[in-house]
Amino acid sequence: MRVAVKHGAFSREPLVSPEGILIDKGAGNALVHRLLRVFDNAILIGPENRRCDGFDMIPLEFLDADTTVVINMDVIDSIGVFQVLHRHGAEPKIMNFQWINPSVYQHRVNFAAMGLSFAMFPTFCNSERTAGEVREVVRRWTVQPLAEKAKIDWVNLGVRVGRVKERQPTNVPVVLYPAIYMYERKQPRAFIDIVERVAARTPIRVEARLHESHLVSELATTLAMKEWAWVGPLTTTRDGYWTALSRTTAFLATALEESYGLEYVEALLAGAIGVFPDRPWVRTILPPSYPFLYSSAAHAEDLLLRAVNEPEACRAELDASVGGSFLEWVRSAHNDDNFEKAILAKVAEWFPGA
């Protein structure tokens, strides 16, 4: 039994370069890379038959439904995947991988499609909060006989802790915009307002590495015009990404909601001091006594000012909050080994023989 990963149905961007290398851009692609690594001889579902760098690309319609488990990251179209694979009578083996909040969608048609997908196919989620949203969608948008049979499980994604780089000092403290998009739910305007006030009080350099679709947005342009800010494209490699994190002093989170918060966890693991809103999603990824949670914009400004001016004292406070090494706490709580073991176990449980 082979595993085939499906992602990008609603994006026009290619997953693979002309050289056959998986494009390392964005959280979705990073998760595809991780799944292809976890499952031996895994397949990437794509537009053509092709041997790529370490994996095969095969179109959906060419898969053998009897011998393939499809992990679908585009869960809204799992019914369509079923129809394609079922055309010759085989019983398709489909597992949803819900890696973003269902609440990012707004239209009732999308919720109805997700509800049916979650109810009909086992669903593995990237965090407890996402699993809770999935259960709520099933409860509200499907009939009871289907909802009662829904199979839903979760584990935190975690981070590849071996990629962390040694910290690099900078002459001016670096503050990171901890996202690659400027969607409204990320509250980028609040981020800009707060860091602007901090920049008026002390020298800082704000860095934002954005997906190309958001580089020309109004808010990205607004931030780029600040003399203390740099706005540019995503790093071309994961190694470059971790190198950039190694010289990041602090970051300011402003999002209203996150399914997990991989970018934040990675930045924490790299030694950056995270200033977070005191919201439920934040509490799920941090220790109970985390000291840098804000309740207002003014409070966030004060915490960020302290983080850039007294980073070592702040790191000592982080250590005290867990009674030891804060970085070791992050490594233990968010190690991606847990994710890999859990998803392997669930595929074996839900699809015996896989």
Same structural domain, 230 and 312:
yes
Same structural domain, 123 and 64:
yes
Give the CATH number for residue 82.
Answer: 3.40.50
Encode pLDDT of 211-261 as tens digits: 888 998 999 999 999 999 999 998 877 788 899 999 999 999 999 989 888
Encode pLDDT of 25-56 as tens digits: 677 888 898 899 999 999 999 999 999 999 99
**Helix, strand, or coil (residue 12):** coil
Same structural domain, 116 and 170:
no
- pLDDT of residue 343 exceeding 90, the answer is yes
Same structural domain, 98 and 173:
no
Mean pLDDT on 201-219: 93
Token pair recorded at residue 271? 């030694």
Same structural domain, 18 and 144:
yes
Hunting for tokens 């595929």 — which residue is that? 347
Task: Report d(CA 152, CA 173) in Å as an integer.
Answer: 43
Same structural domain, 194 and 130:
no
Encode pLDDT of 49-79 as tens digits: 999 999 999 999 999 999 999 999 999 999 9
Same structural domain, 44 and 172:
no
Angle 282-285-289 from CA coordinates, rounded to 5°? 80
Same structural domain, 234 and 95:
no
What pLDDT score was predicted for residue 105?
84
Task: Report d(CA 293, CA 284) in Å as an integer.
Answer: 13
Same structural domain, 21 and 141:
yes
Same structural domain, 173 and 311:
yes
Q: At 39, give phi and psi (nearest 5°).
A: -100, 125
What pLDDT score was predicted for residue 354?
64
Encode pLDDT of 84-138 as tens digits: 999 888 899 999 999 988 888 888 999 999 999 999 999 999 988 899 999 999 9
Does residue 1 or residue 251 have the better pLDDT? 251
Percentage of the chain with pLDDT > 90? 73
- Residue 197: give the domain boundaries: 161-333
H-type alpha helices, the chain: 26-38, 78-85, 108-120, 128-141, 144-147, 188-199, 212-215, 218-224, 238-246, 262-269, 280-283, 297-309, 311-322, 326-333, 336-350
Number of domains in the chain: 2
What pLDDT score was predicted for residue 27?
77
CB 124 within 8 A of CB 99: no
pLDDT band at 196 (very low <50, low <70, confident <90, very high): very high
Give the CATH number for residue 270.
Answer: 3.40.50.2000
Encode pLDDT of 291-327 as tens digits: 999 999 999 999 999 999 999 999 999 999 999 999 9
- pLDDT of residue 11 exceeding 90, the answer is no
Mean pLDDT on 138-154: 93
Same structural domain, 125 and 67:
yes
Encode pLDDT of 152-193 as tens digits: 999 988 887 777 899 999 999 999 999 988 989 899 999 999
Angle 274-280-283 from CA coordinates, rounded to 5°? 45
Same structural domain, 137 and 185:
no
Encode pLDDT of 275-296 as tens digits: 999 999 999 999 999 999 999 9
